[in-house]
Amino acid sequence: GAVVSQHPSWVICKSGTSVKIECRSLDFQATTMFWYRQFPKQSLMLMATSNEGSKATYEQGVEKDKFLINHASLTLSTLTVTSAHPEDSSFYICSAIRGGSGTEAFFGQGTRLTVV
Amino acid sequence: EDQVTQSPEALRLQEGESSSLNCSYTVSGLRGLFWYRQDPGKGPEFLFTLYSAGEEKEKERLKATLTKKESFLHITAPKPEDSATYLCAVTRSGAGSYQLTFGKGTKLSVIP
């Protein structure tokens, strides 16, 4: 199956600092990537849709100035949490759509962000 | 608004005890229904995609089926390593529409 690599798998940062999370599709080109946030015992909540070479589309209620998304190539999207606060602590997961006839989304391993 | 409801929220099975997980959905034009497995602290792992009512797919001890209103994930003779949260998601038909709407999942525990 297709492989999506997310890095780092966990990070602890101080309040007020910024954190960058990378999402790479290793063996396929992904024109579209998604970023999700997951709270304990809850399902995945879509934050934004990222298309290569264009601005990300954010879901309602998601602050685009806090969660900066860059999709500079067909294999890499990044999510930067700016001026992080403890309430931003969560599990962040990316996914990528493999082009062609399939529509399956493949997910990264997730990043556990803890803001102290 | 698309909705996905999974039941039960949690399920405990003895090893070898077969059962089914349910996913009910409401979507205006189904493009695909997806099943994922998620282990604690990990991202979802793709299992199946179903596109039309009557379709069935199998993988080892798992079998997914689809009707116009719901999908079932049947697990036959489960083993402890099948313990995980199983997520169901749908995408809506339409140009460029690949966004997944997820259910809250069913947490499966298989007891040796």
> pLDDT (tens digit, 9 = 90+) per residue, A43-101?
899 999 988 888 899 999 999 999 999 988 889 999 999 999 999 999 999 999 876 65
Cβ-based contacts under 8 A for chains A and B: 54
Q: Least CA distance to A104: which residue of chain B?
A: B49
| pLDDT above 60 (res A112) | yes
State whether B43 and A108 contact (CB < 8 Å). yes
Q: Smallest Cα–Cα separation from A6: which of A31, A49, A35, A32?
A: A35
The CA-based angle A77-A103-B109, given to 5 degrees, is 90
Flag if B104 and A43 touch (Cβ within 8 Å). yes
Q: What is the DSSP letter of B9?
A: S
Quick check: A31 contacting B, CB < 8 Å? no
Q: Which of A1, A4, A105 sits opposite B98 (nearest CB)?
A: A105
Q: How far apart are CA A13 and CA B80, in angstroms?
A: 36
pLDDT for the residue numbered A14: 97
Provide the 10 A C-beta neighbour count for residue A78: 19
Phi-psi region of B96 (alpha: psi -120 to 50; beta: other; left: phi over 0): left
Along chain B (112 residues), what's the average pLDDT of each consecutive run of 10 residues?
Answer: 94 98 94 94 93 95 97 98 96 74 95 96
Distance from CA of A42 to the nearest CA of B (A): 6
